[in-house]
Amino acid sequence: MTRNEGVDGEGAGGPPAHAFDEHRGIRLGAPALVVLPLREERGKIVLRAPEARLAEACGLARAIALEVVHSEIVRLRSASASHLFGKGQIERLAAAAAAHDAELVVIDGVVSPIQQRNLEKDLKAKVIDRTGLILEIFGERASTREGTLQVELAHLQYQASRLVRSWTHLERQRGGFGFMGGPGESQIEMDRRLIKDRIVRLKDELEDVRRTRGLHRRQRQKAPWPVVALVGYTNAGKSTLFNRMTGADVTAEDLLFATLDPTMRSIRLPGYDKVVLSDTVGFVSDLPTQLVAAFRATLEEVTEADLIVHVRDISHPDSEAQAADVAKVLADLGMDTDRPMLTVLNKIDALEPEEAEAVTARIGDDAVAVSALTGQGVDQLREQIAVLLRAGSRVQVIRLSHGDGRRLAWLHEHGEVVGRTDDDEVTTLKVRLSDADHARFVSMA
């Protein structure tokens, strides 16, 4: 069985099947080499250890069921424009690919179309770079219509930039037969035109979906419930924490990008009858720009939440670098720097007792140490989320008719009533409310 079966062909209104050749036919369980090209740059501060980067690349490969039979770091003094690696390095990789019968070589970095073509010829195996690999994972994980459209759009934009490969079919000339192209139109020109047409249609379809999402978002903003969004590096334990807090059964596998489509559930917190908790796609270093653009509407759900909860895997050796990557993606999305955020140091149970104690001792009010797996610290997390949702509040003067019991109860539930006077017609309250809760209260009128 191969992956990507059922991709739209010409007859379905999509690009021709061969437009996807460089990603078609990745067999489940196929033996693969994973290679990290490491450029030596003097004076550059590197947060992420090369060994951890290679381990992550292997995890990405396993996320689409590839069998990693060999992995290595290849150090580059300078990258070859035509082959990326030097002659001796290519010979060594070719020997490793042959020894392990590798069908695929994953290059954890950016590979140009020319480099890809030459490497495939020299290594006698398919070659895929980091962007292509992440696109494959997203394509496999997408389950909603919006997610599927977003992934296809990102994939086609990536493919359109790489239609320079010298396969035989790209060198053919095809005469004009109506929509099949004008006289002498080459196969590559037709591929590019069909992909461009499909991209236009996908963008139109996505715009319809985004309008619906925007409508739902506005409806939620009018609802009297705060929204809390979980964000974090992929595999940090967001979905496990989401399940722990909601009692839901969202996929929480030990896989990179186990969650792709956003999930929302309501929870109760101290002082709040209902809070909407959102689990989102995990971030990763060097996230392809095509994916950030395609998933912008989905990720914008995060930036408009009342509180962002950043879940970190505190047991990971690159936890600091992962946190920096998450911050970069949020900044790229245009998130307000003053947006309330709480850091959750997850997997505290995976640390040695002395190390866990040291971590717990040095965190402040803007962080909570938890184990989503065992439940340790989750009650404290609930309390801290409630505290931050109430933070930044101000005293509002609100007048209610005597019969407005529903809104009066809501104010007692979501705010702090610090004063009350009654006359013949109205009840006047002084209530400490956050700006977000005050806006929700006004929308209830």
The two three-digit tokens of residue 89, written as one number: 């390095």
Q: Was 239 annotated as part of a binding site?
A: yes
User: Where in 47-182 does DSSP place strands (E)?
Assistant: 67-76, 104-107, 126-129, 173-174
347 assigned to a ligand binding site = yes
Tell whether residue 122 is among the known ligand binding residues. Answer: no
373 annotated binding-site participant: yes
Q: Is 237 among the annotated ligand-binding positions?
A: yes
Local structure of 206: helix, strand or coil = helix
Strand duo 173-174 + 185-186: pairing: antiparallel
Q: Are strands 416-422 and 426-433 parallel, antiparallel or unpaired?
A: antiparallel
Confirm whether residue 334 is marked as ligand binding: no
* Residue 428 is assigned to a ligand binding site: no
Query: Is the distance from CB of 242 to CB of 230 less than 8 angstroms?
Result: yes
Q: Is 238 annotated as a binding residue?
A: yes
DSSP H or E run through 77 = none
* Annotated binding-site residue? 14: no
- Check the annotation: does 435 bind a ligand: no
Quick one: how far is CA 247 from the chain centroid?
23
Query: d(Cα 245, Cα 215) in Å, to the nearest integer?
Result: 27
**Tokens of residue 29, six digits:** 């369980």
Query: Which of 85, 95, 78, 158 is CA-nearest to residue 119?
Result: 85
Is 280 annotated in some ligand binding site? Answer: yes
Is 204 part of any known ligand binding site? Answer: no
Strand segments, DSSP code E, in 248-355 are: 263-269, 272-279, 307-313, 341-346
Instruction: Tell me if 392 is assigned to a ligand binding site.
Output: no
The answer to whether the annotation marks 66 as part of a ligand binding site is no
126 is in an annotated binding site: no
Give the C-alpha separation, 158 to 112, whole Å: 11
Residue 282 annotated as part of some ligand binding site: yes
User: Residue 348, annotated ligand binder?
Assistant: yes
Find out whether 22 and 126 touch, Cβ atoms under 8 Å: yes
Binding site membership: which residues?
232-239, 257-261, 279-282, 346-349, 371-373
Which residues sit in the known binding site for Mg(2+)? Answer: 239, 259
Enumerate the known binding-site residues for GTP.
232-239, 257-261, 279-282, 346-349, 371-373
